Structure 1
Amino acid sequence: MFEIKDSTPFETDEEDFDTVMASDISFTGTIRFAKPFMIKGKVNGNIEATSDLLIDTAAEVNADISAERVLVRGRVKGNISGKKVVYVSSTGSVFGDISSSQVVLEPGSRFTGKCSMTAGF
């Protein structure tokens, strides 16, 4: 689990997520959800959420993402818009623009794009 000052901790255990997309699943299209969602497989398209999204270590996401909070441990090609926070862990990589109230890039993470930190998104 990681914690960000003045934020609720982001649960990272699989049992904390209402839906987990397994590593052997590949999906093309738009995913919309309102409860915490974890991706372990491959997604191509768009992701629109009013909740938290975790992109796990082996996941590959080619999509524009809009969610409450986003944790990237895997690979994302696309723009990410996080209402509260976008957190890229040391194993994560983002190739696209990030916009959020708070952005965290751990040492070792990879990021190519523009970063916009907005107040009250």
Structure 2
Amino acid sequence: MFSKKDKMSKNNEVQTTAVNLICDGTSITGDIQAARDIRIDGFLNGKMKVNGKVVVGNTGKIQGDVHCKTIDVSGMVEGNIFASEMVNLKNTAVILGNITTDKISVEPGAKFTGSCKMGEPAPKKDEKK
């Protein structure tokens, strides 16, 4: 009926869709490095490096820099955001720091204090001596 291969493929499917979760009421001090997506509804005091998507929920707060592919923020980030693909700031988002990304979306009501750098930096012209 079911072969071992079928069971393994189902387990692999679960693993590829798994999301790390820091729940509301949870506080973490220290750096986080994740190979998969992560959702923060609690508090993180530290740097974050994620090889996928970061979601900061309404109750989520990060104090530290975030490096990821994409980030959706409904809560608060006090630190710099480095997203290689996309930053989405929802209407309840509060960002205190700089953003470096390829694309950005800001909903009305989002608060952003800092600077935003998009795309590749412009090449510098050679200075004459």
Verify same fold: TM over 0.5: yes
Distance 1:36 1:53 in 2: 6
Alignment of 1:50-61 (within 5 A): 50-61=51-62
Distance 2:59 2:74 in 1: 8
Structure number with higher strand proportion: 1
Distance 2:87 2:54 in 1: 10
**Cross-structure match for 1:98:** 99
Alignment of 1:58-77 (within 5 A): 58-77=59-78
Q: C-alpha root-mean-square deviation of aligned residues, in Å? A: 1.4
* AA of the residue aligned to 2:43: K
Distance 2:45 2:97 in 1: 14
Following TM superposition, by how much is the alpha carbon of 1:77 offset from its aligned partner in structure 2, in angstroms? 0.3
- TM-score normalised by L of structure 2: 0.78
Distance 1:27 1:17 in 2: 20
Structure number with higher helix proportion: 2
User: In terms of Rg, which structure is larger?
Assistant: 2
**Cross-structure match for 2:87:** 86
**Cross-structure match for 2:11:** none
Which 4+ runs in 1 deviate beyond 4 A? none
Alignment of 1:1-121 (within 5 A): 18-119=19-120
Asked if the contact 1:99/1:116 (under 8 Å) is kept, the reply is: yes
Asked if the contact 1:17/1:38 (under 8 Å) is kept, the reply is: no
Distance 1:66 1:109 in 2: 20
Query: Tell me, which stretches of 5 or more residues in structure 1 are unaligned?
Result: 1-15
Distance 1:48 1:36 in 2: 10
Following TM superposition, by how much is the alpha carbon of 1:100 offset from its aligned partner in structure 2, in angstroms? 0.3
* AA of the residue aligned to 2:80: N
Following TM superposition, by how much is the alpha carbon of 1:17 offset from its aligned partner in structure 2, in angstroms? 5.2
Following TM superposition, by how much is the alpha carbon of 1:56 offset from its aligned partner in structure 2, in angstroms? 0.3
**Cα deviation 1:9-55 (Å, max 9, x = unaligned):** xxxxxxx6521111111001100001111000000010001110000
Q: Check 1:25–1:82 CA distance in 2 against 1; reply closer, same or farther (3 A cut).
A: same
- TM-score normalised by L of structure 1: 0.83
Distance 2:69 2:18 in 1: 14
